[in-house]
Every structure is written in structure tokens, then in C-alpha cells.
């Protein structure tokens, strides 16, 4: 039966992966040498404030309790799951007393808006153009695009990003060099503000579409070339079926099946691309926020952002796993 043999095993796997992933995320920051309580006291001292040695222990105890670091790791772990069930990741250490969930809510729209859009655009562009190039792999334009993709794909992302930033931000000054919007402009749904956000997002979006599109292009091209050599394609050509129908209905449609799964993984791994992108372009998203959390030893913020990423990846993989038979009629629930 569908629910017993297919749905329940995948749901159990889904919750197990989330549980193990979040558990690992809880313990890893606590193995790091950075102690947020000691760091806070050091920052207070660095500002020239005098701390009475007799009161330092009281301050340490108060900060430890405030940050949710009191008790053994097991006690902290149990308390963490209780708070997590309420959607509470605690307060941020380096932006105290702002709750972690509030910081994530501020940064999430920027990351999703930029990286979700660029991931989908690069996937569509790379697969459609790559599929056409794979079908006509002997044509001159196909070889030219393949050469360009081979040239662009190995370049490290930060090199492409910095190159675009220098060229269009400093030399020609066509686009802003950083930020998500002009400083001081109040967010609104006006045309002027939307245009301002799009201008700030253009360079980081272009850098990601170039590299992502090149990767999808090469993968799609190779898959299409392999599918084109299959017997059913040769049979369709001998049967006199139109070339356009063979290309889109027989070849590219079959070649898209593994790419659908890869798209789900790419969407779930948006956070990995956000880190470098948002640091280079000073973009106010989750990647920049995660970098700040790591450098300051903000346990709660690190756990909040990574836990969100784990849930996103596993959820998207589950959705694609359940919907995959709709894309591939050869698969049947057993």
C-alpha cells in the first residue's frame, strides 16, 4: 500500500535526518574554542570599563543563565528541544537582547529573494540551452557555448564576483557596490524602492546565474547527448517524427528527470551559496548573518540558521521524492 510501503518510510527518514542534523548542529559550536561569555566580558573590558573582580563571577553566572548555557550539555540539549518546539532559538549573543528568530526574519527575505530566484533562473537557462546544445552538439554555436561554459565554470566564485564588482561597481559605476538597498531608504512596495532593490541585487544575481547556468548547461548537454543515443530516439527518427517533437518530448523530457532532483538539492543548499555571495557584496541576508554569528561565537544564531537550512533541504528532497512519479511515469509506488 502507498501509505505503508512508500509514504511512512520516507516520513520516518525525513524526521530522522532533521533530528540527527539539528543534534549535530547543537554540539558542534560547543566544541569550538570560542566562549561567548568570556568574549562578552573581554569586549566590555576592551571598551575601558572597569570590572570589579569580586563581581566578575556574578556577571559570568548571569550571562551564562541569560544565554541558556547553564547546566550540563545534556540539560542544555533538553532545554534546546523544548524551546525549539515553540520556535524559540533564544536571544542573540552579539545583538543582545534581540531574539534569534527576529534576526532570521529580517535576513531571510533577502536571501530567498536573491538566491531562490537566481537558482531557478540558472536551472531553467542551463537546462533549456544545454538541452538544445546537446541535441545539436555538432553545430558551431553549440561548440562555442560549450567552450564558454568550460571557461567560466572552473573559475572560483569570488573571482567572478570581485571581477563584476570592480568592473561595474568601481570602473563604470553602473551598479551599487554593496548592500540590499540604498542606506536610509525606508522599505515599501513602491516602484522606486523595488527598482532600487533590483539595482543592488543585479551584480550578485549575475555572478550566480553565470556560474550556475554554466554548470547546469554542461550537465544537461551531456545527459541529452546520452539520451539521444538511446534506441527509442533512433526508432522515433526512423519513424519520421518531427525533429522538434523528438528533441523536446523524447530527449529533453527524459534528460530533465535527474535535473529535477538536483534542483531540489540546489534549492535546499541556498545557504551555502549565500555565505560567499553576501560577504562579497555586503548583502543583508542569512549568509552575512551566519558569518557574523561564527566570528562572534553566537551559538544560538548559528543553530537557528543551520537548523533552518537542514529543514529546508530535507523538506524539498521529500517533496521531490513524493512527486517524482509525476515526472517519470516509469516509476510506480510499490
CATH superfamily, domain 105-297, is MetI-like (1.10.3720.10)
Distances (CA, A) of 330 to 186, 230, 262, 325, 327: 52, 16, 19, 7, 9
Per-residue pLDDT for the chain (334 aa), expressed as one digit of tens each? 556 666 788 888 888 988 888 888 888 777 766 666 777 677 666 666 666 666 677 777 777 766 667 777 788 888 888 888 887 787 787 777 788 888 888 888 888 888 888 888 888 898 888 888 888 888 889 889 989 988 888 888 778 888 888 889 888 888 888 888 888 788 888 888 889 889 888 988 888 888 888 989 988 888 888 888 888 888 887 788 887 788 777 787 778 777 877 777 776 666 666 677 788 888 888 888 888 888 777 778 888 888 888 888 788 778 877 776 666 666 554 5
C-alpha cell at 226: 546520452
Q: Cis bond leading into 111, ω under 30°? A: no
User: How many other C-beta atoms can be found within 10 angstroms of the C-beta atom of residue 120?
Assistant: 14
Question: Residue 99 in 3-state DSSP?
Answer: strand
Amino acid at each position: 500500500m502507498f501509505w505503508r510501503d512508500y509514504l511512512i518510510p520516507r516520513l520516518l527518514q525525513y524526521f530522522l535526518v532533521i533530528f540527527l542534523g539539528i543534534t549535530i548542529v547543537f554540539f558542534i559550536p560547543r566544541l569550538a574554542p570560542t566562549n561567548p561569555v568570556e568574549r562578552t566580558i573581554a569586549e566590555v573590558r576592551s571598551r575601558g570599563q572597569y570590572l570589579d573582580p569580586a563581581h566578575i563571577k556574578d556577571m559570568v553566572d548571569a550571562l551564562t543563565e541569560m544565554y541558556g548555557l547553564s547546566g550540563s550539555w545534556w540539560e542544555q540539549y533538553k532545554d534546546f528541544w523544548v524551546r525549539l518546539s515553540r520556535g524559540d532559538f533564544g536571544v542573540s549573543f552579539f545583538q543582545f537582547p534581540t531574539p534569534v528568530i527576529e534576526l532570521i526574519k529580517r535576513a531571510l527575505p533577502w536571501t530567498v529573494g536573491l538566491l531562490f530566484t537566481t537558482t531557478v533562473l540558472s536551472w531553467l537557462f542551463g537546462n533549456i540551452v544545454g538541452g538544445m546544445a546537446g541535441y545539436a552538439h555538432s553545430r558551431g554555436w553549440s561548440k562555442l557555448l560549450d567552450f564558454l561554459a568550460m571557461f567560466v565554470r572552473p573559475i572560483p566564485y569570488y573571482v567572478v564576483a570581485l571581477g563584476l564588482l570592480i568592473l561595474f561597481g568601481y570602473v563604470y559605476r553602473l551598479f551599487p557596490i554593496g548592500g540590499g538597498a540604498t542606506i536610509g531608504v525606508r522599505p515599501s512596495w513602491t516602484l522606486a524602492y523595488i527598482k532600487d532593490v533590483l539595482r543592488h541585487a543585479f551584480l550578485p544575481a549575475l555572478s550566480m546565474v553565470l556560474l550556475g547556468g554554466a554548470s547546469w548547461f554542461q550537465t544537461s548537454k551531456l545527459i541529452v547527448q546520452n539520451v539521444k543515443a538511446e534506441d527509442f530516439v533512433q526508432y522515433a527518427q526512423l519513424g519520421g517524427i518531427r525533429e522538434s517533437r523528438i528533441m523536446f518530448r523524447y530527449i529533453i523530457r527524459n534528460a530533465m528527470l535527474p535535473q529535477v532532483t538536483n534542483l531540489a538539492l540546489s534549492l535546499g543548499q541556498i545557504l551555502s551559496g549565500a555565505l560567499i555571495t553576501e560577504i562579497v557584496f555586503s548583502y543583508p541576508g542569512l549568509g552575512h548573518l551566519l558569518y557574523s554569528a561564527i566570528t562572534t561565537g553566537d551559538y544560538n544564531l548559528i543553530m537557528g540558521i543551520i537548523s533552518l537550512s537542514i529543514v529546508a533541504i530535507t523538506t524539498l528532497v521529500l517533496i521531490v521524492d513524493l512527486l517524482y512519479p509525476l515526472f517519470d511515469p516509469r516509476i510506480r509506488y510499490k
